[in-house]
Amino acid sequence: MILSQDLRGTAILCGLAALFTLIAPGFLALFTIITLTQVIGLAILALSLALIWGYGGILCFGQTAFFGLGAYAYAVAATNFGDASVSILIAMAVAAAFAAALGYFAFFGRVSDVYFAVITLTVSLIFWALIRRTSGPEYRIGDALLGGFNGTGAPPLNLPWNPSGFLFPEQTFYVAMGALILAYLFCGWLVRTRFGRVCVTIRENETRAELLAYDTRLYKLGLFSIGAAIAALGGVFFSVGISRVTPDVFSLQQAALTIIWVIVGGRGTLIGPILATFALYFLTSSLGGQVLLNTNLVLGVLLMAFVLGVPRGVLPSVMDLGARRRPTGRRGRRRPRRAAPAEPAE
């Protein structure tokens, strides 16, 4: 019964997303459509962290490392090969392979959760520092210049059967929304499989999972690599949305924002961080147009308010509130037990 309700809710959400995808270009300005494509990439990044942290218990402060790797790998591959479809797969494979190598040493080396979070953040900041120092003409991969702090151009998407048939921004928006919906469906399916249930068990009690003969290191490594590939997909659409990729994709600010999106949306949910990404991004954009309040200060106050007031996140709290207010039907009432007949006194 619970599973059928989850599937019905997923179908409704995907239907609403598909409807919005079809009608949005008709009433939104072109600039807003391009901005939405960028935010979709960020939402996929938040979804990847929601998957590995919310369902696997893997706190990764540097999820932006794979986000940025995907963006740069796509830009380099698309510039050299001229085919966006192949380049997207290359970007996801590069991020997943790097995550597998990093996760192997971390998980099989029994690195604790806190140290692992610090290591991933450090890796992301190392990428940020290294890419900023590649501004010379000698720093190139094939025909693609890395460009240093100025970044490099990200070629637009093209038709799979026609590399010269580039997509317009509205068409790119359709593809990005389709990728977000598919990524959400995939994550929802994954957490319901045996693999996903074992990952949740490891999150709850890793020692107990090991006593049940599960190799927790392999499960965490697999989930971490899948999350990296999804984050790379977000990096692709973010770079395509702005037609450029810069070292800022690895920055500390981007890493902190990703954590905030998951915390506010609700750790342990998939749709919550996605909705929080859209809401907080456009809130930040609106705050950036005024000079009265500092944007970072407002985000800090919001984070503190949500952590202290709504520690589980907005979506889980709203769902709990709705469940408490829902009237209990006849079937939900439990019949009182009949008292056992008294035994005769001896």
Sorted by where each begins, the domain ranges of the chain are: 7-251
The answer to whether residue 339 scores a pLDDT higher than 60 is no
Q: Which residues contact 244 (CB under 8 A, 6 or more apart)?
A: 151, 152, 153, 154
Q: Which residue has the tokens 């999150």?
A: 203
For position 341, what pLDDT does the model report? 46
Q: Which residues contact 37 (CB under 8 A, 6 or more apart)?
A: 169, 172, 173, 176, 237, 240, 241
For position 137, what pLDDT does the model report? 86
Q: Average pLDDT in the 191-208 region?
A: 93
Average pLDDT, the chain: 86
For position 232, what pLDDT does the model report? 97
- What DSSP state is assigned to residue 214? -
Question: 3-state class of 330 per DSSP?
Answer: coil
For position 237, what pLDDT does the model report? 96
pTM of structure: 0.88
Contact 62, 227 (CB under 8 A): no
Highest mean pLDDT among 28-32, 189-193, 307-311, 332-336: 189-193
Contact 84, 75 (CB under 8 A): no
Contact 175, 37 (CB under 8 A): no
The answer to whether residue 91 scores a pLDDT higher than 70 is yes
Highest mean pLDDT among 148-152, 326-330, 334-338: 148-152
pLDDT digits (tens, 9 = 90+) for 221-244: 999 999 999 999 999 999 999 999
For position 281, what pLDDT does the model report? 86
pLDDT digits (tens, 9 = 90+) for 246-302: 999 999 989 988 998 998 888 888 999 999 999 888 888 777 666 666 777 777 787
Cα-trace Rg, the chain: 23
How far, in Å, CA of 72 to CA of 94, rounded? Answer: 10
pLDDT band at residue 346 under the 50/70/90 scheme: very low
Tell me whether residue 72 is exposed, middle or buried, using C-beta atoms within 10 angstroms of its C-beta: 0 to 12, 13 to 18, 19 or more: buried
List the beta strands (DSSP E) in the chain.
140-141, 144-145, 152-153, 158-159, 162-166, 244-245
DSSP string, 236-265: HHHHHHHTEE-GGGGSHHHHHHHHHHHHHH
For position 304, what pLDDT does the model report? 80
Q: Average pLDDT in the 177-194 region?
A: 94
The answer to whether residue 26 scores a pLDDT higher than 60 is yes
Pairing state of beta strands 152-153 and 244-245? Answer: antiparallel
How far, in Å, CA of 264 to CA of 295, rounded? Answer: 17
How far, in Å, CA of 258 to CA of 66, rounded? Answer: 12
Q: Which has the closest alpha carbon to 262: 29, 60, 36?
A: 60
For position 27, what pLDDT does the model report? 87
Q: Which residue has the tokens 């996140």?
A: 313
Q: Average pLDDT in the 34-55 region?
A: 95
pLDDT band at residue 34 under the 50/70/90 scheme: very high
Centroid of chain to Cα 12: 20
Q: Average pLDDT in the 120-135 region?
A: 93
The answer to whether residue 342 scores a pLDDT higher than 50 is no
Q: Which has the closest alpha carbon to 84: 295, 318, 76, 125?
A: 76
Q: Which residues contact 105 (CB under 8 A, 6 or more apart)?
A: 111
pLDDT digits (tens, 9 = 90+) for 166-184: 899 999 999 999 999 999 9
The answer to whether residue 321 scores a pLDDT higher than 90 is no
| 21 C-beta neighbours (distance < 10 Å), count | 19
DSSP string, 10-30: HHHHHHHHHHHHHHHHHHS-H
Length of the chain: 346
